[in-house]
Structure formats: structure tokens, C-alpha cells
């Protein structure tokens, strides 16, 4: 029974992503985003429980990636798809309005590629190479909710969304080292980058609200690049 607990939690992550995708297709973005966040919680605890119980397995690792593709790839991409469909219907002709939203699913393909690379890349034990899929999902979920009306009303808002889809698809698989928030101790010297990130993130969330979560992910990317250059 004990060895099935982590995989059960992983399946809860997967189911959260499926429910999020359904609500995203219906344009109920807050519930969709809440389900993505719930999936992220399950994603955190499945690995934690596997290590605590001493039941880590190759099947669990593969199942985790499959769940992440749904929750952090398909679900946010579906939110973007529905968002782009609203933008396109408001400002484009019928053919373009049909075609443009499907570019959102590039996020699914690149999320899957990023997860496949992570599974075989031995460099990513204590940090990341490329943007982690949960960070990508949080960025899009917060952006869709926080900027929905402004982007839909803007004549060329759909172009901005497409540009961001291209940028974040690339970031998922880019050879850019990105720091992890795993703390080995609480000293400032050992965790300076993480502490700076957290302090600025708190300010962004207080000032910008839900949209601040997208700004936090942007700040994470920028700080990762700056610290890598300095190193």
C-alpha cells in the first residue's frame, strides 16, 4: 500500500490538470488556474512522499512527467487558446480567427520536450536548464486572469500573446541555467540569489496582485540570466 501513495498523489496532479483544461476551454479562467495551482501542490508532495517513504521508482518518475505535461503544459495552453480565440474573434477575419488560437498549443509541445530533456539531463539535479514547466504554467495562468480584458480589447493584443507564446516556448528548452529554490541551509551567503528573488517577489505580488505572479516569473528568468552572466 505504501508504495502506491506517491503515484496516487501524482494521479491527483494529472486529474487536476484535466479539470483545469475543461474549465479553460469554457473560459472559466479562475477555476482553471486554481486547478493548476492545486496540481502544483500535488506535484510537490508526490516527490516528497516518495523520498520520505523510500519508494521512489522509475515508473513514478515517468508518471510524474506525464502528469506534468497535462497540468503544466496542456492546461495553461488551453487557457491561452481560449484567450486567443476571444482576441481573434474581436479583431480578425474568420479564417485568421480560426487559425490563430491553435498556436497556443506550441506550449504543450515544448513543455513535453522540456520534461523529456529533464528526465535524461544529469546537470539538473540541483538547478534547472531552461524554464521549469510549473513556472511557465503559473506565468500564463496569472497573465490570462490579470490581463484578460486589456488584451482582448487591444486591436493587436493577440500579436503580443503570440510573441509571448514563442518566447516562452523557447525558454522551456533554452540552454539557460536557472536557479532552484532548494535551501541547504538558511545562510545569506549560500542563498543570496534565492533571498533576493523572494524579497522582490513579495513586493511584486503586493503591488500588482494576481498579475504580479506573472511578473514574479519574469523576475525569476531575468535574475537567473543575470546571476549566470556574473558567474
Give pLDDT tens digits for 48-71.
Answer: 777 777 767 778 788 888 999 999
Q: Tell me which of 79 and 120 has the higher pLDDT.
A: 79
Q: Tell me which of 228 and 43 has the higher pLDDT.
A: 43
Instruction: Identify the weakest region by mean pLDDT among 80-89, 95-104, 115-124, 214-223.
Output: 115-124
Cell of 111: 513543455
* Mean pLDDT confidence for 16-41: 96
Let me know: does 162 contact 100? Beta carbons within 8 Å: yes
Q: Which helix (H) or strand (E) holds 64?
A: helix 58-69
Burial string for 139-155 (b: 16+ CB within 10 Å, else e) reads: bbbbbbbbbbeebbebe
Residue 70: the pLDDT is 96
- For the whole model, what pTM was predicted? 0.90
User: Comparing C-alpha atoms, which of 9, 121, 127 is closest to residue 68?
Assistant: 9
- Quick one: angle between helices 75-91 and 29-53, nearest 10? 160
| Whether pLDDT at 105 is above 90 | yes
| Whether pLDDT at 231 is above 50 | no
Residue 219: the pLDDT is 94
Burial string for 45-76 (b: 16+ CB within 10 Å, else e) reads: bbbebbeeeeeeeeebeebbbebbbbbbbbbb
Q: How far apart are CA 98 and CA 159, in angstroms?
A: 15
Cell of 191: 542563498
Domains of the chain: 2-178 (1.20.120.1760)
* Mean pLDDT confidence for 215-228: 91
Neighbours of 40 (CB within 10 A): 22
- Which residue shows C-alpha cell 495551482? 37
Q: What is the DSSP string of 151-175?
A: HHHSTTHHHHHHHHHHHHHHHHHS-
* Mean pLDDT confidence for 199-218: 93
Amino acid at each position: 500500500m505504501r508504495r502506491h501513495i506517491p503515484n496516487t498523489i501524482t494521479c491527483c496532479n494529472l486529474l487536476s490538470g484535466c479539470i483545469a483544461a475543461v474549465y479553460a476551454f469554457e473560459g472559466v479562467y479562475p477555476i482553471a488556474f486554481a486547478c493548476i495551482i492545486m496540481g502544483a501542490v500535488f506535484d510537490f508532495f508526490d516527490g516528497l512522499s516518495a523520498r520520505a517513504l523510500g519508494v521512489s521508482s522509475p515508473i513514478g518518475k515517468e508518471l510524474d512527467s506525464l502528469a506534468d505535461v497535462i497540468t503544466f503544459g496542456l492546461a495553461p495552453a488551453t487557457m491561452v487558446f481560449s484567450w486567443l480565440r476571444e482576441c481573434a474573434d474581436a479583431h480578425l477575419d474568420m479564417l485568421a480567427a480560426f487559425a490563430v488560437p491553435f498556436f497556443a498549443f506550441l506550449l504543450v509541445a515544448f513543455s513535453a520536450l522540456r520534461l523529456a530533456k529533464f528526465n535524461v539531463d544529469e546537470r539538473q539535479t540541483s538547478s534547472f536548464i531552461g524554464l521549469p514547466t510549473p513556472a511557465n504554467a503559473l506565468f500564463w495562468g496569472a497573465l490570462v486572469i490579470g490581463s484578460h480584458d486589456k488584451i482582448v480589447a487591444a486591436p493587436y493584443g493577440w500579436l503580443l500573446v503570440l510573441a509571448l507564446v514563442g518566447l516562452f516556448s523557447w525558454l522551456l528548452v533554452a540552454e539557460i541555467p536557472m536557479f532552484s529554490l532548494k535551501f541547504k541551509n538558511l545562510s545569506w551567503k549560500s542563498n543570496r540569489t534565492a533571498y533576493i528573488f523572494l524579497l522582490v517577489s513579495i513586493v511584486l505580488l503586493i503591488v500588482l496582485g494576481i498579475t504580479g505572479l506573472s511578473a514574479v516569473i519574469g523576475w525569476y528568468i531575468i535574475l537567473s540570466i543575470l546571476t549566470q552572466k556574473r558567474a
